[in-house]
Amino acid sequence: MKRKILALTLGICMFIFSGCSNQEEGLQEVTYEMVTFTYNPDRGNGTARLEYQFRFHNPNDFAIRGTHKITINIDGVMSTIDSTNDSGCINIPNLSLCHLASHIDYPHSSGIINSIEFVSIEYTIIQ
């Protein structure tokens, strides 16, 4: 795990300091705050539901574009939820907050999930 984090950090540093533009030289990382992360294993209708809300903060003096990846632990198995073009918070204006909220329904017909736990979230700036 530490090697993956180190490799990711080195990759981000190489990207930031590659000299793409003067704007990127002062690039600050996007931070986040977890507002909610709840899992209801039985909604009484044959489904379970994961609901989450995060707040991203762009501390930069310029707008950014990026992607996010949420890592969760589903009954001991790591899984990721990757951003899509319509998932929100792809573009964040300068010095702004962006709210990302979603819910995912899991039908019991695919197997009953006992627990889902938040592991991490990453926001990668692409421009």
69-126 pLDDT, tens digit per residue, is 999 999 999 999 998 877 789 999 999 999 999 999 999 988 899 999 999 999 999 9
Q: With respect to residue 4, please indicate whether it lies within any of the assigned structural domains.
A: no
Q: Looking at residue 23, what is its pLDDT?
A: 53
Distance between CA atoms of residues 94 and 102, nearest Å: 24
Q: Looking at residue 84, what is its pLDDT?
A: 83
> Exposed, middle or buried, 17 (CB in 10 Å: 0-12/13-18/19+)?
exposed
Number of domains in the chain: 1
pLDDT band at 22 (very low <50, low <70, confident <90, very high): very low
Q: Residue 115 is part of which domain span?
A: 28-125
pLDDT band at 16 (very low <50, low <70, confident <90, very high): very low
CB 125 within 8 A of CB 64: yes
Q: With respect to residue 3, please indicate whether it lies within any of the assigned structural domains.
A: no
Distance between CA atoms of residues 45 and 24, nearest Å: 49
| Nearest-5° Cα angle at 73, 34 to 119 | 35
- Averaged pLDDT, 14-34: 68
Q: With respect to residue 79, please indicate whether it lies within any of the assigned structural domains.
A: yes
